[in-house]
A and B are shown apart, each in its own frame.
Chain A
Amino acid sequence: MKFLVLIVNRCLWFFPTVLGLLVLTFTISHMIPADPIAAAAGENATAAQIAELRAKFGLDQPVPVQLYRYILLVLQGDFGVSLYTQRPIIEDISTRLPATLELTFVAVLVAAVVGIPLGVLSAINRNSPVDHVLRLVTVSGLAIAAFWFAILLQLLFAMQLGWTPLQGRVDGWGPDPVTGFFLVDSLLAGDLETFGDVVAHMILPVATLAYPAMATIVRFTRAGVLEAINSSYVMYEEAMGFPRRIIVWKYVLRNALIGTVTQIGLIFGILIANGVVVEAVFDWPGLGLYAVSSILQSDYNGIMAFTIIAGVIFIVVNLLVDITHALIDPRESR
């Protein structure tokens, strides 16, 4: 019962936040110093023509009305038309979203699978050489610029050694799009060669994204395990002769993980932020690359659409993380 109240509470918070985000993006998009209408109308437009164009876009209405219209449209998925491609933005984005999601998901997975055991090891071997090396690695991971790291990896592994492809998501057309997730689609089609190719293209981008995420996970897991190891229940279990392996990997880890799960939200933020530049470096056809090309082409609508979508994704992820946390921590849900 308490658990349901919790979920409803969190969900209720979701809507005003998204609304607030839309107000924010609306405000930002109206801060353009130059008049886009005048720019679109051309140099020789008369005042009357400009006014007509303005009315056509509804920009002659009072601001609250514009805001209201804007919100309605966005909620229906209408992000307007790209000033560059002249196509509805929603079309441009919908093909790219799965690419970003797939990359981010794999990166989180890799970061967690590598980071959590390393965090545990670092904690139980506190102040040993292993611990120091790991701390060095993690501190570096949080200090390195993602785009620079990406370029370095590209330089070393793709250009010098030739071990991985340089950029892109796949050579050729890729598998038949069923879900949009190439890894899944190629397996569904039984096409192992394409699967291998997709994996090869993923290696460097995933490594770039996973490194700072892994660093965060190692740090938080280490802290959580250290805290748990000094707790009374570990002392009790030790006094009662529980096998050491069980104490650490079953009981301590579960407690530490609860803290780590809540960090997934934080990590997702890191990945979305870094995703923009990483996709730029590796020419990964996702949301981030879309943002970059919108920047290059001064496509304000495109940027706003990116902001909204990235923002909503982040908000949704945090909502899911909150719910998951309540699910797995009995202290909250009972």
Chain B
Amino acid sequence: MGTLRFVLGRFLQDRVALLGGILILLLVLVAVFAPWLATHPADVSEFHPAERLQGPSAEHLLGTDRMGSDVYSRLLYGARITIAIAVIAVGASVLIGVPIGLVAGYYRGWLSELLMRVSDIFLAVPQIVLAIAIAQTLGPSIENVILALSVTYWPFWARLVYAETRSVQNEIFVEASIALGVSPLRVMLTHILPNIMSSIIVRTTIGMGGTILTAAALGFLGLGPPAPSPEWGRTIAESREFLPEAWWYATAPGLAIFLVVMGFNLLGDGLRDILDPKIRRSRSHGR
């Protein structure tokens, strides 16, 4: 509890991290309260072709899109999709990757080698390339996007946790516990995991930002949730043919993506400075 107060204290002092935190908080609030904040909540699925492509006005704060729907309202609902994808995809990959990394790092032997080789193969290719292949194969939907992202992200965590586990293992206190006969599971959970937790937290935060960008790219390419989903990437793709006149159509979702990702990046950077000054810019091969 003492450390939590300390972290919170430092956090409130670090303006950069604070800004990031505020942006994320805004995102969450917007997503949760979208139905109440939206001026035209029904426009998520309804069309009003007569009102298409109108500029920002008092009634439509950010104008209307090609189907006459309110851009502002759809933007708010799009936040829900963004959060859902980011949280589930990152969460799943962490939940899969971290235990695999722990086990592979703790034990020696062919299983560890195999797991790491498999991870290396996934990491040998940029995430989006594989994600496109998977999403394309399975068909465009929000579930498939989440699946594609999780499948291509867990190896990153496995590799990371593997390396950190191996280095923590060499610490005396771990050797001592093993010598005392503490069960492997307890060693992993009570000794190794807490020590690598701050690294995981920082990278999870930054990973959310990256995942959102990749998800938006998939949406832009048409591999995300299909029409009439208000997903931000898809909306930008839809807006292209109406440029440069309907500038609000493309600007709003793009700006939203920017602010959200920026928020996660700032928060992650701030957390890194607060939680563990030993985490320097990673010198690993970035894989």
Q: Mark A291-317, 1 if CB is under 8 A from B, else 0.
A: 110111010100110110011001100
Q: Is residue B48 within 8 Å, beta carbon to beta carbon, of the partner chain? A: no
Stretch at the interface among B67-75, B92-100, B127-135, B169-177: B127-135
The answer to whether A266 and B286 have CB atoms under 8 Å apart is: yes
Q: List 18 A-B contacts (CB under 8 A).
A: A29-B133, A32-B137, A142-B209, A142-B265, A143-B262, A145-B254, A159-B244, A262-B286, A265-B286, A269-B126, A277-B221, A281-B240, A300-B137, A303-B132, A303-B133, A307-B125, A307-B132, A311-B129
Cβ 8 A contact of A292, one of B137, B221, B244, B287: B221
Q: Is residue B122 within 8 Å, beta carbon to beta carbon, of the partner chain? A: yes
The answer to whether A148 and B250 have CB atoms under 8 Å apart is: yes
Interface size on B, residues (CB 8 A): 52
Chain A residues within an 8 Å CB radius of B265: 139, 142-143
The A contact surface, by secondary structure, is: helix
The answer to whether A273 and B129 have CB atoms under 8 Å apart is: yes
Nearest CB of chain B from residue A116's CB, rounded to whole Å: 16
Q: Is residue B27 within 8 Å, beta carbon to beta carbon, of the partner chain? A: no
Cβ 8 A contact of B124, one of A152, A281, A295, A311: A311
Cβ 8 A contact of A314, one of B125, B244, B253, B257: B125
Q: Is residue A16 within 8 Å, beta carbon to beta carbon, of the partner chain? A: yes
Given A273-B126, A295-B221, A151:B236 Cβ within 8 A: yes
Q: Is residue A144 within 8 Å, beta carbon to beta carbon, of the partner chain? A: yes
Q: Is residue B164 within 8 Å, beta carbon to beta carbon, of the partner chain? A: no
Known: A262-B286, A281-B240. 13 other contacts (CB 8 A): A20-B121, A21-B121, A28-B133, A32-B138, A148-B236, A266-B286, A273-B127, A273-B217, A291-B132, A295-B132, A300-B137, A306-B129, A315-B124
Which residues of B in the span 100-154 have a Cβ within 8 Å of any Cβ on A? 117-118, 120-122, 124-130, 132-134, 136-139
Q: Mark B259-279, 1 if CB is under 8 A from A, else 0.
A: 001100110010000000000
Chain A residues within an 8 Å CB radius of B244: 155, 159-160
Cβ 8 A contact of B285, one of A21, A281, A318: A318
Q: Is residue B247 within 8 Å, beta carbon to beta carbon, of the partner chain? A: yes
The answer to whether A263 and B286 have CB atoms under 8 Å apart is: yes
Query: A residues bordering B, Cβ < 8 Å?
Result: 16-17, 20-21, 23-25, 28-29, 31-33, 139-140, 142-148, 151-152, 154-155, 159-160, 219-220, 223, 227, 259, 262-263, 265-266, 269-270, 272-273, 276-277, 280-281, 291-292, 294-296, 298, 300, 303-304, 306-307, 310-311, 314-315, 318, 322
Given A148-B257, A280-B221, A303:B247 Cβ within 8 A: no
Q: Is residue B158 within 8 Å, beta carbon to beta carbon, of the partner chain? A: no
Chain A residues within an 8 Å CB radius of B286: 262-263, 265-266, 269
Q: Is residue B78 within 8 Å, beta carbon to beta carbon, of the partner chain? A: no
Chain B residues within an 8 Å CB radius of A294: 136
Cβ 8 A contact of B283, one of A24, A148, A259, A276: A259
* For the complex of A and B, 6 pairs with smallest distance between CB atoms: A266-B286, A148-B254, A20-B121, A311-B125, A143-B262, A143-B261
Chain B residues within an 8 Å CB radius of A306: 129, 132-133
The answer to whether A31 and B258 have CB atoms under 8 Å apart is: no
Which residues of B in the span 200-252 have a Cβ within 8 Å of any Cβ on A? 209, 213-214, 216-217, 220-223, 233, 236-237, 240, 243-244, 247, 250-251
Q: Is residue B5 within 8 Å, beta carbon to beta carbon, of the partner chain? A: no
The answer to whether B247 and A24 have CB atoms under 8 Å apart is: no
The answer to whether B223 and A295 have CB atoms under 8 Å apart is: yes
Given A155-B244, A307-B133, A145:B281 Cβ within 8 A: no
Chain B residues within an 8 Å CB radius of A314: 124-126, 129
Chain B CB within 10 A, most for which of A33, A273, A291: A273
The answer to whether A21 and B125 have CB atoms under 8 Å apart is: yes
The answer to whether B117 and A20 have CB atoms under 8 Å apart is: yes
* Closest A residue to B216 using CB positions: A145
Given A33-B139, A291-B132, A151:B124 Cβ within 8 A: no
Cβ 8 A contact of A31, one of B120, B128, B138, B269: B138
The answer to whether A310 and B121 have CB atoms under 8 Å apart is: no
